[in-house]
Structure 1
Amino acid sequence: MLIELDFQSDIPIYMQLVHAIIEGIATGELKPGDKLPPVRTLAADLGVNMLTVNKAYQHLKQLGFIQIHRKKGAVINSEEIRKADDKFYKRLFASLRPLAMESVCRHLTKSQFLTLCSEIFEEIELKGGKC
């Protein structure tokens, strides 16, 4: 899996890494049981601090996307990823709300906003995405 980071982005590097790995899972590029590179290796490959990669892995673990084993390292969760629950909906709402507000301020219509969301889903589905 190719991970591209934007060092000029306002999005923290660890979150870009989290997003890239979740995208790999969503598109089926990363499958349950697949091993992620060791922290040290991925940090060196990406040119980032090991703490950044470790923070991303810990965040993915908290979200239930990976398991971290002492001997095996970080592995894509082989158990079914938890379905959306109230906690997820609240987090999703909190994440989308500022984007919707900015969209309104920038004169996007509801239809344009929803079209962008649909395009993202379609892109994932075209890549074979289903968790």
Structure 2
Amino acid sequence: MLISIDVNSETPIYEQLKEQIIMGIASGALKPGEQLPSIRQLAEDLGVNLHTINKAYNQLKADGLLTVDRRKGAVVNFLAQKPTAQQKDELRRKLRPVLARAICFGLSEQEIEDLCVRTYNQIIGGNDE
């Protein structure tokens, strides 16, 4: 999986990295048990600070998506379990402003649902656009 960072983006680099790893896991480009580059190696490859990579990896670990071990590095977790109520609440909290924005743009409930289904299918199919 190729990771690219937009240094001109308003989105912090660690967030860009997290989003790309999450997309890789969701699309199947990153498989359970797959080892990610070491913090040091990825920082060098991307030309960013070690602490930036460390922050992204640790947040993904806290979300249950990665296991981080000193010897093995970061490894994609097997995600057979159902999300917790807390994880669902977090998703809902992050989704609310996106849905509010769609409503402000005049999208109907059906249009929002169609957009969600199309986007879901694109992610599962490994299609970025």
TM-score surpassing 0.5?
yes
The aligned residue for residue 102 of structure 2 is 103
Cα distance, 1:12–1:82 mapped onto 2, change above 3 Å:
farther
CA distance in 1, matches of 2:80, 2:42: 24
RMSD value over aligned CA atoms?
1.7
Flag the structure with more relative contact order, 1 or 2, with Cα contacts below 8 A and sequence separation at least 6.
1
Write out aligned runs for 1:1-131 (5 A). Answer: 1-77=1-77, 79-127=78-126
TM-score by length of structure 2 reads 0.88
CA distance in 2, matches of 1:17, 1:10: 13
1:28 CA drift (Å): 1.4
Instruction: Determine helix, strand or coil for the equivalent of 2:40.
Output: helix
Could you list the runs of 4 or more consecutive aligned residues of structure 1 that deviate by over 3 angstroms after TM superposition?
79-82
Asked if structure 1 preserves the Cα contact closer than 8 Å seen for 2:28 and 2:124, the reply is: no
1:98 CA drift (Å): 0.7
Moved more, 97-106 or 56-65: 97-106
Asked if structure 2 preserves the Cα contact closer than 8 Å seen for 1:64 and 1:82, the reply is: no
Gaps of 5+ in 2: none
Q: Which amino acid aligns with 1:7?
A: V
CA distance in 2, matches of 1:112, 1:10: 28
Instruction: Determine helix, strand or coil for the equivalent of 1:6.
Output: coil
% same residue: 43
CA distance in 2, matches of 1:115, 1:86: 25
Asked if structure 2 preserves the Cα contact closer than 8 Å seen for 1:36 and 1:74, the reply is: yes
Moved more, 7-16 or 95-104: 7-16
Alignment length (residue pairs): 127
Deviations 1:12-62 (A, max 9, x none): 211111111111111111112211111111112112111110000000100
CA distance in 1, matches of 2:86, 2:72: 30
Cα distance, 1:85–1:55 mapped onto 2, change above 3 Å:
same
CA distance in 1, matches of 2:84, 2:39: 30
CA distance in 1, matches of 2:113, 2:12: 26
Cα distance, 1:81–1:48 mapped onto 2, change above 3 Å:
farther
